[in-house]
Amino acid sequence: MALPLLHQPPTDPGFVQNPYPFYDRARSAGPLFHWADYAMVCTSTHEATNAILRDRRFGREPVDALPIPDHLKPFYDVEAHSMLELEPPRHTRLRGLVLRAFTNRRIKALAPEITQLTHDLIDRFPADHDLLDTFARPLPVTIIARLLGVPEDMAPSLLRWSNAMVMMYQAGRTRADEDVAVRATEEFVAFMRDYVERKRSLPKDDLITALIAAEEDGEKLSTDELITTCILLLNAGHEATVHSIGNGAKLCMEQGHRPEGDPAKFIEELLRIDPPLHMFTRTAYETVEVHGHTFHRGDQVALLLGAANRDPETYAAPETFDPTRGGPAQLAFGAGLHFCVGAPLARLELQIALPILFERCPNLALTASPRYGDIYHFHGLDALRVAT
């Protein structure tokens, strides 16, 4: 039986500002549907999304090597070493080495720095400002720079490189977007290669030094793997957190919520109701039947995290913000083998920063209607104008 066919341009302004009605329509068609604009089967429910995320018959690596245009080679040369795009055994080796350095102890030790930086940024707030520029962007990029051991004065370059590189993942990218992303990649790689070599000579108590020293079964990260891992941690380590802070602060101001009670549950509900990443793809590695649909080896499936997190079969009144909510874990960070390695850091930053923000600025209010950026499959604001 053919899957329901739905049409929805991901760059349509109405969809960009509010994709959730489309997700509701998709779920009403069944747990799987065919999204015509992506020419891809997609999940619409929490159960189907969670199941495929955890099913090892699906993975991130393509079955056959995809043709790469010459002008994009520098970008994909970096991607070739990213654990985000790899499967076992290479993924297992890389993730194991990274987790030897990126430990819970190291992350928890950042709490005082996150707290102090949050206060420092708030101290500098002007009367009227864009909260993304004054708070949501500088906080996570500064913390990840400190964690890695990269100079904080590099933060503007790190942001510029990261923002350019993630354009490669958004719908409707242009050749101009690709050229900007490739230039950013080349600059980022050149900086990291030089910096890693300096760290080899002058080791310090930072994540880059720990990654250099990490060893498992006699193996270490190669220089290219180390560079890609640092770029991945910098990009992923702040991009989603920026959107999460912005989306969460927006919801709090619009609906009058404040981070009270258990900060962990409050943040999980913010991540559930308006996650920063809405789509993640997998490739079938063998013939697999899911909800009556047969995937063949090489077929792709898009997992709609934003739809899964508002599934009424999983969460009662899913469009309602309820920080006391129980139920299954939200899927903003994924699940299974590729569960986000940076999730503990993102959660810590959000659990510390948002309560302090609203405690220090109890009258924080919007001064302009927030608008989401045309960056699907990410979901984050263009600006968040506020008065304190």
Q: What is the pLDDT of residues 9-36, one digit of tens each?
A: 999 999 999 999 999 999 999 999 999 9
Q: Residue 214: pLDDT band by 50, 70, 90 thresholds?
A: confident
Task: Look at 43 and 163; give whichever has higher pLDDT.
Answer: 43
DSSP letters for 68-90: --GGGHHHHHHHTT-GGG--TTH
Q: pLDDT at position 71, please? A: 97
Q: What are phi and psi of 290, to 5 degrees?
A: -130, 120
Q: Residue 372: pLDDT band by 50, 70, 90 thresholds?
A: very high
Query: What pTM value is reported for the model?
Result: 0.94
224's tokens: 């290219």
The yes-or-no verdict on residue 1 having pLDDT over 70 is: no
Q: What are phi and psi of 140, to 5 degrees?
A: -70, -35
**What CATH number belongs to 5-387?**
1.10.630.10
Instruction: Looking at 214-337, list the stretches that DSSP marks H as alpha helix, in order from N- to C-terminal side.
Output: 223-255, 263-273, 305-308
Condensed to tens digits (0 to 9), the pLDDT of residues 234-262 reads 887 678 899 999 999 999 999 999 998 89
Q: What are phi and psi of 241, to 5 degrees?
A: -70, -35
> What average pLDDT does this structure show over 106-134?
97
The yes-or-no verdict on residue 368 having pLDDT over 70 is: yes
Condensed to tens digits (0 to 9), the pLDDT of residues 260-296 reads 889 999 999 999 999 999 999 999 999 999 999 999 9
166's tokens: 């993630």
Of 159-168, 298-307, 375-384, the range with the lowest mean pLDDT is: 159-168
> What average pLDDT does this structure show over 318-339?
95
> What average pLDDT does this structure show over 343-349?
95
Q: Are strands 300-304 and 40-43 parallel, antiparallel or unpaired?
A: parallel
Please answer whether residues 319 and 20 qualify as being in contact, where contact means their C-beta atoms are separated by less than 8 angstroms: yes
Q: pLDDT at position 140, please? A: 94
Query: Please, what sign has the CA dihedral across residues 321, 324, 326, 328?
Result: positive
> What average pLDDT does this structure show over 128-141?
96
Query: Could you give the percent of the chain with pLDDT greater than 70?
Result: 99
Q: pLDDT at position 177, please? A: 95
Residue showing tokens 């039986």: 1
Of 8-22, 32-46, 140-154, 174-188, the range with the lowest mean pLDDT is: 140-154
Q: pLDDT at position 70, please? A: 95
- How far CA 54 is from CA of 57, 278, 336, in Å, comes to 9, 17, 4
Q: pLDDT at position 61, please? A: 95
Kindly state the helix (H) or strand (E) to which residue 304 belongs, with its residue range. Answer: strand 300-304
- How far CA 242 is from CA of 16, 75, 88, 119, in Å, comes to 18, 23, 30, 17
Q: pLDDT at position 100, please? A: 87
> What average pLDDT does this structure show over 83-109?
92
